[in-house]
Amino acid sequence: MKYARIAGTGGQLPAKVVTNADLEKIVETSHDWIVERTGIHQRHIASDNETTCSLAEQAARKAMSAAGVKGSEIDLIIVATTTPDRIFPSAACLLQQRLDIHGCAAFDVQAVCTGFVYALSIADKFIRTGAASCVLVVGAETLSRILDWTDRKTCVLFGDGAGAVILKASDEPGIISSHLHADGQYKDLLTVNAGVSEHSELLKSGRAFVQMAGNEVFKMAVNTLGDIVDETLSANGLSKADIDWLVPHQANIRIINATAKKLQISMDRVVTTVAHHGNTSAASIPLALDVAVRDGRIKRGETILFEAFGGGFTWGSVLMKF
Ligand code: ACO
């Protein structure tokens, strides 16, 4: 049986940077409050001519170049996003067209901040069963388009961006295991309460915004991410010391610190980009991975744990050898 191995990574952030000082001018907040509660100093925000798919295209091209893979070799495209360019076709189909790839399967995965972990897990199954041998997996978002820029409780938290990986079939590991969960009973704690089939009037009038019960989300995230660390280690008979790198979803530095503490891993083995990127939802893990691969921190053969928590609620992890 083949393993799914990362052959290349890529990331793309919008050029426009919005600092906490910029936000002080539009909502009642302060740089110190945002840094103390979240660890965020700045975020990148898409301009009018940038979209989820335009960011995804640039990230994908960089990952393909790093992997030395041509479009014609890719036999599956999966895009994790909550903010697709269109209701349909999927972001994956629009990305396929941008990359001039024809005929391979392409679809989106919607698991909010856990989207990339879900997408990676699905891609792994395709490769393990022999249904695909070269998969482009992208996490891409323009969350800024569904933020209420008058709501200080949410607008300070998020940013835009895209991250991508090329996964190739290999005799060597590779993704070792993935663990996915969801519980829809928490649907109202973190939501955009509007869509095509429900409250479409909010969508049509531009009032479809992220709403969040911050405290509840925070507590659930910390507890659940602690549990998923235990689940992943015990499923593989590993101890905490076997993990070389934690690459967590970048929601809040306090959530990341709590997970690192649970894993008893020092913060210099945890990749954090939240200070500069904010929470880019499905894009945050592949963006963080790309940063740490390109600056030489993460090396071939090292063991990485990805973990994420997000709206749904959804949560999950992927353990892999890089
Ligand atoms: N600037 C200044 N004050 C603020 C701001 C702001 N941007 N936002 C809220 N406040 C105020 C509140 O109004 C409140 O004031 P009050 O006491 O007068 O009512 C006070 O600060 C404390 O508010 P809390 O919501 O209790 O603050 P908390 O310490 O919980 O921090 C935060 C809020 C940062 C949102 C935190 O709950 C959090 O990080 N939650 C996790 C949610 C998250 O990360 N979501 C992202 C998506 S899910 C995921 O990816 C994990």
pLDDT score, position 2: 93
Distance CA 191, CA 208 (A): 10
Distance 312 CA to ligand 1 centre (A): 19
How distant is the alpha carbon of residue 78 from its chain centre?
13
Burial (0-12, 13-18, 19+ Cβ within 10 Å), 169: buried
| 46-60 mean pLDDT | 98
Decide: helix, strand or coil at residue 219.
helix
Tell whether omega for the bond before 89 is within 30 degrees of 0, i.e. cis: yes
Q: Is 279 a catalytic residue?
A: yes
- Closest protein CA for atom 26 of ligand 1: 215
> How many CB atoms neighbour CB 236 within 10 A?
13
pLDDT digits (tens, 9 = 90+) for 284-304: 999 999 999 999 999 999 999
pLDDT digits (tens, 9 = 90+) for 2-47: 999 999 999 999 999 999 999 999 999 999 999 999 999 999 999 9
Distance 215 CA to ligand 1 centre (A): 7
From the candidates 93, 104, 113, 134, give the one annotated as an active-site residue: 113
What's the pTM? 0.97
Distance 271 CA to ligand 1 centre (A): 23
pLDDT score, position 1: 76
Q: Is 134 a catalytic residue?
A: no
Q: Please state whether beta strands 210-212 and 190-192 pair in parallel, antiparallel, or not at all (unpaired).
A: antiparallel
Q: How many residues does the chain have?
A: 322
Tell whether omega for the bond before 209 is within 30 degrees of 0, i.e. cis: no
- CB distance 116 to 80 below 8 Å: yes
CA distances (Å), origin 43, targets 11, 142, 149, 264 = 15, 12, 14, 29
- Closest protein CA for atom 41 of ligand 1: 218
Q: Which ligand 1 atom is the nearest neighbour of the CA of 215?
A: 37
Give the H or E element holding residue 165. strand 161-170
Q: Which ligand 1 atom is the nearest neighbour of the CA of 37?
A: 34
- Closest protein CA for atom 20 of ligand 1: 153
Q: Please state whether beta strands 76-80 and 134-141 pair in parallel, antiparallel, or not at all (unpaired).
A: parallel
**What is the DSSP code (8-state) at residue 83?**
S
- Structure-token pair, residue 289: 């991975």
Q: Is 193 a catalytic residue?
A: no
Pocket of ligand 1 (CB under 6 A): 29, 33-34, 37-38, 113, 152-153, 156-157, 190, 212, 214-215, 217-218, 221, 249, 251-252, 279, 309-310
pLDDT digits (tens, 9 = 90+) for 56-109: 999 999 999 999 999 999 999 999 999 999 999 999 999 999 999 999 999 999
pLDDT digits (tens, 9 = 90+) for 205-255: 999 999 999 999 999 999 999 999 999 999 999 999 999 999 999 999 999
Radius of gyration of the chain measured on its C-alpha atoms: 18
Decide: helix, strand or coil at residue 314.
strand
For residue 295, what are the contacts with CB-CB under 8 A and spacing of at least 6?
none
How distant is the alpha carbon of residue 236 from its chain centre?
24
